Chain A
Amino acid sequence: MSHDHSIDPKNMPKDPSKATTEGKYKFMGLWIFLGGETVLFACLFGTYLALKDSAAGGPTTQELYGMGLVFLMTILLLTSSLTSVYAIYHMKNNDFKKMQLWMGITALLGIGFLACEIYEFAHYIHEFGFTFRSSAFGSAFYTLVGFHGGHVVFGLSWIIALMVRNSKRGLNLYNAPKYNTFALYWHFIDVVWVFIFTVVYLMGMVS
């Protein structure tokens, strides 16, 4: 049994993130965790759908939502998912520098998304007086979209911590699973956003 986690470039495993048993456990554990997260967001979506028309005299979905900013946010987040794929591609080729670069771009796109979201919330509050407390619709909207935003914040903290921690020592079989589980989590956040874009914004604008 090897105690050493360094990667031998001449004898490169096909997928360094799943070359150790711990890596395999983490990979599966995160998939299972995302199953639970799916239920969490499903419940939030259900609550939102039940309450979206309960504006209590405040602004309605059609008055609030606009296409421009939300479209930009969608582009930013979808692209960040793609760049994380590039990062994992470079991990499998044992190219640590390029992996860090693409993970960095992923994080920047995520920060861009987050900035747009903060602007969006501030806009609703100041221009429309639409707050977390103003109606059941407001509570449901900020809770659903805010939970997603919270996941983005957590993901960003995670990848930044990983990148800083490992910047000097490079890729090995111990930290490869960590990058890989992050990428998986990031894809999940992206998928949730696709549903938010459709169910909250698109459906809100037409109905």
Chain B
Amino acid sequence: MSMTSAQKSGFGATLWDWLTTVDHKKIGILYLAGGGFFFLLGGLEAVIIRIQLISPENNFISAGLYNEMITMHGTTMIFLAAMPILLGLMNFIMPLQIGARDVAFPFLNSLGFWLFLFGGLLLNLSWFTGAPDAGWTNYAPLSIQSPGHGIDFYVMGLQLSGAGTLMGGINFIVTIVLMRAPGMTYMRMPLFTWTTFVASILILFAFPALTVGLFLMMFDRMFGSAFFDAALGGNAVIWQHLFWIFGHPEVYILILPVFGVFSEVFPTFAKKRLFGYTAMVFATFLIAFLGFMVWAHHMFTVGLGPVANSIFAVATMAIAVPTGIKIFNWLFTLWGGSIKINSAMLWSLAFIPSFTIGGMTGVMLASAVADYQYHDTYFVIGHFHYVIVGGTVFGILAGLHYWWPKMFGRYLNEVLGQISFWTFFIGFHLTFFIQHFLGLMGMPRRYWVFLENQGLDTGNLISSIGAFFMSFGVIVFLINIIYTTIKGKKAPGDAWGSGRTLEWTISSPPVHYNFKQLPLVRGLDPLWIEKMEGNEKMTPAEPVDEIHMPNGSILPFIMTIGFTIASYGFIYQTGNKYWLIAVFAGMAIALICMLIRSLKDDHGHHISKEELERVGD
């Protein structure tokens, strides 16, 4: 059934295929493309910010536009770039690593992607009528007072994409618990699967707090409730709590998956098994657990009192311990290994010192008394860019270089990869290292100008020059993608020759059902075990038999369109009640799609034994 539709060609059929796909690999690629697009957008916003700050009292953009720029840069990079790209990697790689043919809920997977994409597009549509301008943290009462519809776009856009992310999280948890191949016990799972699992748990428990915060903000701005209105007894600090109860686990959602990436890259290119596997798993859980206990360290200056501040300070410093365990385990994995340096490895090696600097300034910030000095200065900006760029972005680039041959069947070009690495790496440290000192000298964050001769001129100039280096690196990476797509070297199944995990046992790119026969897993690093015993491939755990696969569906896409129309209606019904028609029409579309999904039987389809034998491996 699927074969006949896949054999149709032409633009229309291809488009239909991507709109209706429930294949975790295609959805992974869609996430990468969507996240990549927003990454470029957020990067452009960053460059505009750095041009504005290149010299004192610059007037490249106005103060209002600057506020919109910083808000959209932060929001875009966190919600629409970093997280979706990670979800893309998880979607593509995790089922392959556990020996599954798809995720547990393929329909939901597709819905999650479309909600993310349309939430992001909705948020960015605000550029035409006035973007949100209260910072990515959107603190009340500033956000309540902000005129126009910018904040409304923020609320509805994040609500949509957040719902999509939550669906992804639930899906991955069930997939990992119930769909592992025979023999793949928990303690034989690759580290990237483990970190996907733990990050999904974080998504599950963190995102509902954002959902509630956004609902309260929506009610206050659109329906006249009084949650954050002090005149009617409201309390603006509730927003801060809800935002950071979500927001702090969120930074671990961003970093844990890339910890998993590094734990795959180092063993592969050092040809050694990961040092301290059990400790790595344990440390991941410890970081996740502590990640929920530290949200108020973003609020030291709010005035929660010395007891609360002390508890949260100590809990925050404690996170350095499991993180330190991980750093040392990676170093010991490299120790004495037969190391091969390439782009994936360079990004991973560069991560270790860069992220450690970010961790160190994190412990400095965790000290509540000292934080009164650092709070809202460029020191904080320097700190979180060291962990998010030096950690998450480096990790994403390491992961892309590492898995690109698996995902697309071609190696990324090594020369272009290294040019891109060195310019980005140097630019990153130029941009953000000096910002720590600018902050210590008293430069506050979120100000659109600074005065001349305050000792801030040179530092800001250097920082802006660094941003241009980083942009150059990104452009070279884009050229690399285009070059690779056209002329890249073809990759075999075990693309690096030293693969250890199940994704390297199948062809590059994999067939749509992934595994003709599910593999039998005999230990940690199953492919490596077979190689060491002289076996060419995995021992199958089942005879060749027909394979049950899910059907594609256009419903997730239409459902998302419905929700987007309703969101648009919600935003504009404050001014004109006729927009309520859009709310009801949009919700009706979405609910009818849900009803169809519920009532129309969908048993999936089977790939016959004959077809499997015809295709071969």
Contacts of B224 in A (CB 8 A): 132-133
What is the minimal beta-carbon distance from B302 to any residue of chain A, in angstroms?
14
Asked whether, in the complex, the Cβ of B170 is within 8 Å of the Cβ of A33, the reply is: yes
Q: Which of B104, B219, B226, B238 contacts A135 (CB under 8 A)?
A: B226
**Selected interface stretch from A9-17, A50-58, A83-91:** A50-58
Asked whether, in the complex, the Cβ of A39 is within 8 Å of the Cβ of B234, the reply is: no
**What is the predominant secondary structure among interface residues of chain A facing chain B?**
helix
Asked whether, in the complex, the Cβ of B205 is within 8 Å of the Cβ of A35, the reply is: yes
In the complex, which of the residues B212, B219, B231 has the most CB atoms of chain A within 10 Å of its own CB atom? Answer: B212
A143 within 8 A of B: yes
User: A35-B205, A136-B227, A161-B598 known; A29 and B233 CB under 8 Å?
Assistant: no
What is the minimal beta-carbon distance from A43 to any residue of chain B, in angstroms?
4
B352 within 8 A of A: no
Chain A window 36-63, contacts with chain B (Cβ cutoff 8 Å), 1 for yes, 0 for no: 1101100110110011001110000000
Query: A3 vs B170: C-alpha distance in the bound complex, in angstroms?
Result: 27
Residue of A nearest to B207 (CB): A36
Contacts of A56 in B (CB 8 A): 226, 231-233
Asked whether, in the complex, the Cβ of B225 is within 8 Å of the Cβ of A143, the reply is: yes
B590 within 8 A of A: no
Chain B window 206-231, contacts with chain A (Cβ cutoff 8 Å), 1 for yes, 0 for no: 11110111011001100111110101
Query: A46 vs B204: C-alpha distance in the bound complex, in angstroms?
Result: 18
Asked whether, in the complex, the Cβ of A40 is within 8 Å of the Cβ of B208, the reply is: yes
Q: Which of B178, B207, B227 contacts A139 (CB under 8 A)?
A: B227
What is the minimal beta-carbon distance from B328 to any residue of chain A, in angstroms?
33
Asked whether, in the complex, the Cβ of B212 is within 8 Å of the Cβ of A44, the reply is: yes
What is the minimal beta-carbon distance from B210 to any residue of chain A, in angstroms?
9
A25 within 8 A of B: yes
Asked whether, in the complex, the Cβ of B208 is within 8 Å of the Cβ of A37, the reply is: yes
Query: A178 vs B601: C-alpha distance in the bound complex, in angstroms?
Result: 12
Contacts of A50 in B (CB 8 A): 235, 238
B166 within 8 A of A: yes
Query: A158 vs B233: C-alpha distance in the bound complex, in angstroms?
Result: 38
Chain A window 118-150, contacts with chain B (Cβ cutoff 8 Å), 1 for yes, 0 for no: 000000000000001111111110010000000
User: A25-B104, A43-B242 known; A51 and B227 CB under 8 Å?
Assistant: yes
B245 within 8 A of A: yes
Query: A36 vs B238: C-alpha distance in the bound complex, in angstroms?
Result: 20
User: A29-B105, A47-B216, A47-B238 known; A135 and B174 CB under 8 Å?
Assistant: no
Asked whether, in the complex, the Cβ of A1 is within 8 Å of the Cβ of B174, the reply is: no
Contacts of B223 in A (CB 8 A): 132-133
Asked whether, in the complex, the Cβ of B606 is within 8 Å of the Cβ of A43, the reply is: no
Asked whether, in the complex, the Cβ of B606 is within 8 Å of the Cβ of A1, the reply is: yes
User: A1-B606, A50-B235, A54-B234 known; A32 and B225 CB under 8 Å?
Assistant: no
Asked whether, in the complex, the Cβ of B177 is within 8 Å of the Cβ of A28, the reply is: yes
Asked whether, in the complex, the Cβ of B219 is within 8 Å of the Cβ of A143, the reply is: yes
Number of A residues, CB within 8 Å of B: 40
B603 within 8 A of A: yes
Asked whether, in the complex, the Cβ of A32 is within 8 Å of the Cβ of B227, the reply is: no
Query: A134 vs B595: C-alpha distance in the bound complex, in angstroms?
Result: 37
In the complex, which of the residues A32, A44, A161 has the most CB atoms of chain B within 10 Å of its own CB atom? Answer: A32
Contacts of B490 in A (CB 8 A): none
Asked whether, in the complex, the Cβ of B235 is within 8 Å of the Cβ of A1, the reply is: no
Query: A138 vs B245: C-alpha distance in the bound complex, in angstroms?
Result: 24
Query: A25 vs B105: C-alpha distance in the bound complex, in angstroms?
Result: 8
Asked whether, in the complex, the Cβ of A47 is within 8 Å of the Cβ of B227, the reply is: yes
Q: Which of A28, A55, A134, A162 contacts B174 (CB under 8 A)?
A: A28
Q: Which of A28, A134, A140 contacts B178 (CB under 8 A)?
A: A28
Asked whether, in the complex, the Cβ of B170 is within 8 Å of the Cβ of A51, the reply is: no
| Those of B186-209 within 8 Å (CB) of chain A | 204-209
Residue of A nearest to B230 (CB): A136
Query: A51 vs B220: C-alpha distance in the bound complex, in angstroms?
Result: 14
Q: Which of A24, A37, A136 contacts B229 (CB under 8 A)?
A: A136
Contacts of B598 in A (CB 8 A): 158, 161-162, 165, 178
B548 within 8 A of A: yes
Asked whether, in the complex, the Cβ of A32 is within 8 Å of the Cβ of B178, the reply is: no
Query: A174 vs B177: C-alpha distance in the bound complex, in angstroms?
Result: 22
Asked whether, in the complex, the Cβ of B227 is within 8 Å of the Cβ of A174, the reply is: no
Query: A187 vs B229: C-alpha distance in the bound complex, in angstroms?
Result: 35
Asked whether, in the complex, the Cβ of A36 is within 8 Å of the Cβ of B219, the reply is: no
What is the minimal beta-carbon distance from A41 to any residue of chain B, in angstroms?
8
User: A28-B178, A50-B235 known; A1 and B166 CB under 8 Å?
Assistant: no
Q: Which of B170, B241, B245, B545 contacts A29 (CB under 8 A)?
A: B170
Chain A window 150-184, contacts with chain B (Cβ cutoff 8 Å), 1 for yes, 0 for no: 00000000100110010000000010001000000
Contacts of B388 in A (CB 8 A): none
Asked whether, in the complex, the Cβ of B232 is within 8 Å of the Cβ of A135, the reply is: yes
User: A43-B245, A140-B227 known; A135 and B215 CB under 8 Å?
Assistant: no
Asked whether, in the complex, the Cβ of B232 is within 8 Å of the Cβ of A54, the reply is: yes
B173 within 8 A of A: yes
Contacts of B211 in A (CB 8 A): 40
Query: A28 vs B105: C-alpha distance in the bound complex, in angstroms?
Result: 11
Residue of A nearest to B175 (CB): A25
Contacts of B545 in A (CB 8 A): 1
Asked whether, in the complex, the Cβ of B174 is within 8 Å of the Cβ of A137, the reply is: no
Query: A35 vs B166: C-alpha distance in the bound complex, in angstroms?
Result: 11
What is the minimal beta-carbon distance from A140 to any residue of chain B, in angstroms?
7
User: A5-B603, A43-B242, A137-B233 known; A32 and B174 CB under 8 Å?
Assistant: yes
Residue of B nearest to A25 (CB): B104
In the complex, which of the residues B206, B232, B241 has the most CB atoms of chain A within 10 Å of its own CB atom? Answer: B232
Contacts of A54 in B (CB 8 A): 232-235
Residue of A nearest to B171 (CB): A29
Contacts of B530 in A (CB 8 A): none
Query: A97 vs B127: C-alpha distance in the bound complex, in angstroms?
Result: 57
A residues near B (Cβ < 8 Å) are 1, 3, 5, 21, 24-25, 28-29, 32-33, 35-37, 39-40, 43-44, 46-47, 50-51, 54-56, 132-140, 143, 158, 161-162, 165, 174, 178
Taking A36-B169, A46-B238, A133-B225 as given, write out 4 further A-B residue pairs in contact, using a Cβ cutoff of 8 Å, ordered by the A residue number.
Answer: A43-B212, A46-B241, A135-B233, A140-B227
B residues near A (Cβ < 8 Å) are 104-105, 166, 169-171, 173-174, 177-178, 204-209, 211-213, 215-216, 219-220, 223-227, 229, 231-235, 238, 241-242, 245, 545-546, 548, 595, 598-599, 601, 603, 606
**What are 20 sample pairs from A and B whose C-beta atoms fall under 8 A apart?**
A1-B546, A3-B603, A5-B603, A21-B178, A29-B104, A32-B204, A36-B208, A40-B208, A43-B213, A51-B233, A51-B235, A51-B238, A132-B223, A135-B232, A136-B226, A136-B234, A137-B233, A139-B226, A139-B234, A161-B595
The list of the 3 closest CB pairs from A to B, nearest first, reads A54-B233, A139-B225, A136-B233
